[in-house]
Every structure is written in C-alpha cells, then in structure tokens.
Amino acid sequence: MKILLVDDEIELVSAMSERLGLRGIEADFATNAIQALQMAGEKKYDLAVLDVKMPGISGLDLWKLLKEQYPEMKFIFLTGHTSQDDFKAGTKTGHNYLLKPISFDALLERINQSISGSPEREG
C-alpha cells in the first residue's frame, strides 16, 4: 500500500509519514498541491490524505485534479473544521474525512477501510 500525505504543515506530514512507516505502510509526503501532483505522476499511490485548506490550490481542488487523473485513487481529508456539520457546510461534500487533531488509530482504521473498500464512516 502506498500513501501520499499532503499538508502545508511539514512537521505534521513528516511525523505522520514516519509513524505510518513504523507500521509498515509506505507513506510519502508533499507540502503543496503542485508537489503532490508531481509525485503522483512519478509513483502510483493507492490513497491520498489531503488537508482541506492549503495555500494556493486547496485540498478540495487537488482532490478534483487527482481524481480525474487517477480514478482508482482513494481519498481521506484532514480538516481544521471544529465539527462534522461545520465541515459539510464549508465544503458542501460528503467526503471521507478526519477532524484535526486526528486520532492516529482512527487514521489507520480509515486507511484500512478505504483500501479494502468498506463503507466509509464520518468524523
């Protein structure tokens, strides 16, 4: 399984990448959408974890670009929104997402669900 983590907070994605690596999950990271698109063009990722709000191209816009180019890719969103309702109202979508600060166990569960094709849960 190969995962691409995208968030403008390098401390966040580098720590997440290392923690996933310690559990045997290959996870690269990018700190902006341009870098993420470039990396996705060079390696096949099964799943992308995207921060919703990033400078320049947002996580939602990046999702549209990646989804178009890589239809098989799965997605999980990270958001600083304070509640599920707030996130839904802000994005007008029903995406698979986690609220920051994330529970790492919840992230692992969500990754496994996404890859195995289990029904997605919110929150």
Partner 1 sequence: MNKEEWEKCYARGLAFFGRISANVSHEIKNHLAVINELGGLLQDLSIMAQKKDGLDPDRVDRLAGNITAQVSQSDKIVRAFNYFSHSVDRTQTSVDLDEFAEIMVTITRRLAAVKGMELVYNQEKRQHSPVFTNPFLLEQLYHFCLEHIIAQGKSGLIISLRIAKEGTKGKLSFSCPEPVMGNIPEDDYLDLLNQELKASIECGRDKRELVLTIEPLSF
The residues in 90-119 that bind partner 1, with binding defined as CB under 8 A, are 100-102, 104
Peptide bond into 71 cis (omega under 30): no
Q: Segment near partner 1 (CB under 8 A), from 8-16, 38-46, 68-76, 115-123?
A: 8-16
Size of the site for partner 1 (CB under 8 A): 20
Does 18 contact partner 1 by CB under 8 A? yes
Which residue from 79, 31, 73 is spatially nearest to 51, judged by alpha carbons? 79
Does 37 contact partner 1 by CB under 8 A? no
